[in-house]
Amino acid sequence: MVRILFLAIAVALSGCATNQLHFASYSTEAELAEIRNAEVNIALVEVSGAESCTKCTESSKIVWHAANYNGFFYEGFAQIPVSDWSAFTKSALNPAANSKTQAKIVINRIFLKTWQNPQYYACQSEISIFINNQKYNGKSIVKIRGSGQELLRANLAQLNHDTLEAIQLSLKSAYLNAMK
């Protein structure tokens, strides 16, 4: 009975985005450089699906999960501080200016997690790309060692600027995954 209960808990937690990111392997510098240097040969004409949450939870479509322990435990879910997801996504992909291939991207999910011990920040992106009435799905996880947040006081964390680049790398990696 105990084994069945343990197995049921393990299966339930494996599907949880926060645990997927916590147990994911770290992205290497070579992997990150490959993502940064990859060319995107599309004309990005539309980005949709970016829905900000007001009462953010783990199941929110675009969410930041901050967790920290610095003498006291803090855990919360918040909006990712991006006001224009279309411009942010275009900046992440840096698409070719003269491409004749037009594409639309739908953001299905962006889950950002920051953690203090061990220090890391990780982003899981899931997108759909539409090119010539074909749908391509991409998913990616980028996980980087280092502080992705600063705990200002109890129940108040602030996102570090480098963490936004991790989100952009995750978006671009999801695009590359879809186009394989």
Domain boundaries of the chain, sorted by first residue: 2-178
- Mean pLDDT, all residues of the chain: 85
pTM of the model: 0.86
Residue 131 has pLDDT above 50, yes or no: yes
pLDDT tens-digit map of 85-115: 999 999 999 998 789 999 999 999 999 988 8
Identify the burial level of 122 via C-beta atoms within 10 angstroms of its C-beta, where 0-12 means exposed, 13-18 middle and 19 or more buried: buried
pLDDT at 73: 62
Beta bridge pairs of residue 9: none
Average pLDDT over residues 17-31: 79
Q: CA Rg, the chain, in Å?
A: 17
With a CB cutoff of 8 Å and minimum separation 6, the contacts of 35 are: 142, 169, 172, 173, 176
Model pLDDT, residue 18:
60
What is the DSSP code string of the chain? -HHHHHHHHHHHHHT-HHHHHHHSPPPPHHHHHHHHH----SEEEEEE---B-SS--TTSSEEEEEEEESSSEEEEEE--S-S-HHHHHHHHH---TT-S-EEEEEEEEEEEEEEETTEEEEEEEEEEEEETTEEEEEEEEEEEES--EEEEETTEEEE-HHHHHHHHHHHHHHHHHHT-
